[in-house]
């Protein structure tokens, strides 16, 4: 049976916002026909924090544990899944590299996860460690070991589980852009998700799956294409950070927002012969009204105490607010200037380039003391600074690629040091530079320049293929850690007051 309401993604997000005060958005109660076999699927995705967010009003894995337990107590055939993004980024993950998230999800009894793009933030080696610590299954039909073609890290491409006598087929997919935006490295292959999903669904049906469920970490548009092409019954997705629900033909697609603000519940009703005839979904707000599970709450407190000992140390102060908003992805900011200047000063390179998306929090840091916690929150990724040698022409190409990201607020927009740019956003991407100077002289395409960048960019991340091809002067095995450089620079100065100085001048607004 089709759900009572047919909702597009945008309409659904507005509905959920309207119902947020009620604490639950739903398309109707779960089916009640006593002759049906009942399955329940629970979903969260893009969960970066152990503790509540939004000033304590929503989220928190101890509260989530209570809701999951309540559902499991009432519905014995329940599967709890997480379609990617939980190991990073956060202040705690910058220190513990996601160890705390795996421990908490183990305590919650998570059944299945798939990879999000942020699972690879600390490189494939750390992810393998986290996978070994997990008590839940990992599924991926499109993330593979280049050397063998097998699913990465010992994951399974697909899985067939029996719940209440019903054969449920599951598979996982990760956006192919992960190869470009993460630190997965050359040994990991991200195959086309649509082709991989189509083949996984076919294989599961051939093995007798009566219900096929995809766990995906990709954009809603890609989920819609998968639904239209692969013949899956349900897509539990991640990647967007807002609660969404949509239908594509007979396929229901849900996304639970981020940071466990919502728990998605999907109830399926099947005949004894395995035919899917009823379906309902609900979004339960994980609010402050939900009591915390005591055991998970203590686990969270233990990790918070561990983190506090390291992070609540004041390293210096800022006399001006630091702009860590999303302007970093489209314009010069004082914080972007400071980070890039620190990189250039330490390395002695002529130019430093830092991707704006590598500086986080999407907020303004007020003037006052700066703790290790604050700085690690601004720079949560593991990034070793690499020094490259580029021709002026290649440096120009890299700068143009960064400027092209401004249209969509892409993380590849560059914060710079040692170079001054004038650019015009009205020009087509690839031709926006009006002028560029290095060290006070016009950028010369035939000259050679030393350029310091985070290791992520040196590997070609965010589409900077020109940097990935450059000659390495100081590589990742020898370069300094970016976050450590910034911490040391603040401590050495005691007080900072970075400013915008026109190094990224935009004309033709």
* Helix residue spans in 357-462 (DSSP H): 372-378, 392-404, 455-458
Say what the pLDDT of residue 3 is.
31
The answer to whether residue 408 scores a pLDDT higher than 90 is no
Residue 109 burial by Cβ neighbours in a 10 Å radius (0-12, 13-18, 19+): middle
Return the domain boundaries, the chain: 9-306, 313-506
For residues 213 and 236, give the distance between their C-alpha atoms in angstroms, rounded to a whole number. Answer: 7
Q: Which pLDDT value is given to residue 16?
A: 46
Euclidean distance between CA atoms 393 and 384, whole angstroms = 25
CA dist., res. 262 & res. 213, Å (int): 20
pTM for the predicted model, two decimal places: 0.75
Q: Using pLDDT thresholds of 50, 70 and 90, give the confidence band for residue 9.
A: very low
3-state secondary structure of 210: coil
Q: Within 13 Å of residue 381, how many CA atoms lie on the same side as its CB?
A: 25
Distance from C-alpha of 379 to C-alpha of 316, rounded to nearest angstrom: 16
Mean pLDDT of the region 159-184: 94
Helix axes 99-108 and 294-311, enclosed angle (nearest 10): 170
CA 158: distance to chain centroid? 22
CA torsion, ordered 390, 394, 400, 405, to nearest 10 deg: -70
Q: Write the CB contacts of 118 (distance below 8 Å, at least 6 apart in sequence).
A: 48, 84, 85, 86, 87, 88, 89, 182
Query: Of 21-35, 51-65, 67-81, 310-324, where does mean pLDDT reach its minimum?
Result: 21-35
Closest CA to 283 of 222, 240, 242: 242
pLDDT digits (tens, 9 = 90+) for 220-231: 999 999 999 998
What CATH fold (topology level) applies to the domain 9-306?
Purple Acid Phosphatase; chain A, domain 2 (3.60.21)
> Quick one: pLDDT at residue 343?
98
* Phi then psi dihedrals of residue 174, to 5 deg: -130, 140
Q: pLDDT digits over 11-26, tens only?
A: 444 444 434 433 455 6
In this structure, what token pair is assigned to residue 295? Answer: 């055991």
- Residue 133: Cβ within 10 Å count: 11
pLDDT per residue as tens digits for the range 315-359: 999 999 999 998 999 999 999 999 999 999 999 999 999 999 999
Separation CA 417–CA 334 (nearest Å): 11
pLDDT for the residue 7: 38
Q: What percent of the chain has pLDDT over 70?
A: 93
Cα separation, 289 vs 153, whole angstroms: 39
Give me the helices (H) in 109-234, please.
Answer: 124-133, 178-181, 193-206, 220-230
Question: How is 168-182 classified by DSSP, letter by letter?
Answer: EEEEEEE-TTHHHHS
d(CA 152, CA 141): 9
What contacts 70, CB < 8 A, 6 or more positions away?
A: none
Q: What is the pLDDT of residue 28?
A: 52
**Is a pLDDT exceeding 80 seen at residue 275?**
yes
Cα torsion at 87, 88, 93, 94 (round to 10°)?
A: 140
29 has pLDDT over 70: no
Residue 371, pLDDT > 50, answer yes
Under 8 Å CB-to-CB from 397, ≥6 apart: which residues? Answer: 466
Cβ–Cβ under 8 Å, residues 45 and 84: yes
CATH 3.40.50.2300 fits 313-506, yes or no: no
| Distance in angstroms (rounded) separating the CA atoms of residues 481 and 483 | 6
Question: Kind of pairing, strands 137-138 and 37-43?
Answer: unpaired
Pairing of strands 504-506, 419-423: parallel
Q: How many CB atoms neighbour CB 154 within 10 A?
A: 11
361 vs 277 pLDDT, higher one: 277
For 286-367, strand residue ranges (E) read 314-318, 322-324, 351-355, 363-365
Coil, strand, or helix at residue 98? coil
CA distance 241 to 49: 14
End-to-end CA distance of the chain: 52
The pLDDT value recorded for residue 481 is 84
pLDDT, residue 367, reads: 98
Token pair in block for residue 172 = 């996982």
Burial of 18: CB neighbours in 10 Å, binned 0-12, 13-18, 19+ = exposed
Selection from 371, 380, 383 nearest residue 308 by Cα: 371
What is the per-residue pLDDT across 86-134, written as a single tens digit (0 to 9) for each?
Answer: 999 888 888 899 999 999 999 999 999 999 999 998 999 999 999 999 9
Edge-first strand order for the sheet with 24-26 is 24-26, 276-285, 262-270, 37-43, 78-82, 112-113, 137-138
Model confidence at 409, pLDDT cuts 50, 70, 90, reads confident
């Amino acid at each position: 049976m089709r759900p009572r309401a047919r909702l597009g993604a945008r309409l659904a997000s507005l509905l959920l916002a309207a119902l947020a005060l009620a604490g639950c958005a739903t398309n109707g109660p779960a089916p009640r026909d006593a002759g049906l076999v009942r399955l329940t699927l629970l979903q969260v995705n893009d969960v970066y924090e152990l503790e509540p967010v939004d000033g304590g009003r929503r989220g928190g894995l101890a509260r989530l544990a209570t809701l999951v337990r309540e559902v499991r107590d009432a519905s014995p055939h329940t599967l709890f899944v997480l379609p990617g993004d939980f190991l990073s980024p956060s202040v705690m993950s910058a220190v513990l590299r996601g160890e705390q998230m795996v421990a908490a999800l183990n305590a919650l009894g998570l059944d299945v996860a798939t990879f999000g793009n942020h699972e690879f933030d600390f490189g494939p080696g750390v992810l393998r460690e986290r996978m070994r610590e997990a008590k839940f299954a990992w599924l991926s039909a499109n993330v593979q070991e280049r050397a063998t073609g097998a699913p990465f890290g010992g994951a399974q491409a697909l899985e067939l589980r029996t719940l209440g006598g019903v054969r449920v087929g599951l598979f996982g997919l990760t956006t192919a852009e992960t190869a470009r935006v993460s630190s997965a490295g050359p040994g990991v292959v991200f195959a086309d998700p649509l082709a991989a999903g189509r083949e996984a669904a076919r294989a599961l049906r051939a093995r007798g799956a009566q219900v096929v469920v995809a766990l995906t970490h990709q954009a809603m548009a890609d989920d819609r294409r998968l639904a239209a092409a692969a013949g899956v019954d349900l897509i539990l997705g991640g990647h967007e950070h807002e609660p969404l629900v949509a239908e594509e033909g007979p396929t229901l697609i849900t996304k639970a927002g981020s940071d466990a603000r919502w728990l998605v519940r999907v109830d399926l009703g099947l005949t004894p012969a395995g035919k899917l005839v009823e379906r309902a979904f609900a979004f339960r707000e994980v609010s402050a009204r939900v009591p915390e599970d005591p055991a998970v709450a203590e686990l969270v407190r233990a990790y918070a105490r561990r983190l506090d000992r390291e992070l609540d140390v004041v390293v210096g102060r800022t006399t001006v607010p630091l702009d860590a908003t999303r302007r970093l992805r489209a314009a010069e900011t004082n914080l972007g200037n400071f980070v890039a200047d620190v990189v250039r000063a330490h390395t002695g390179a002529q130019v430093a380039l830092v991707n704006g998306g590598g500086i986080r929090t999407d907020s303004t840091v007020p003037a006052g003391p700066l703790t290790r916690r604050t700085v690690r929150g601004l720079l949560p990724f593991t990034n070793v600074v690499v020094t490259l040698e580029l021709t002026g022409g290649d440096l120009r190409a890299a700068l143009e690629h960064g400027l092209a990201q401004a249209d969509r607020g892409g993380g590849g927009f560059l914060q710079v040091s040692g170079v001054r740019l004038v650019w015009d956003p009205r020009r087509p991407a690839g031709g926006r530079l009006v002028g560029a100077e290095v060290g006070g002289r016009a950028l010369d395409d035939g000259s050679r320049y030393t350029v310091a960048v985070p290791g992520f960019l040196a590997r070609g991340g965010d589409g900077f293929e020109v940097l990935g091809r450059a000659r390495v002067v100081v590589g990742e095995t020898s370069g300094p850690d970016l976050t450590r450089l910034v911490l040391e620079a603040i401590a050495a100065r005691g007080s900072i007051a970075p400013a915008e100085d026109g190094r990224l001048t935009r004309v033709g607004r």
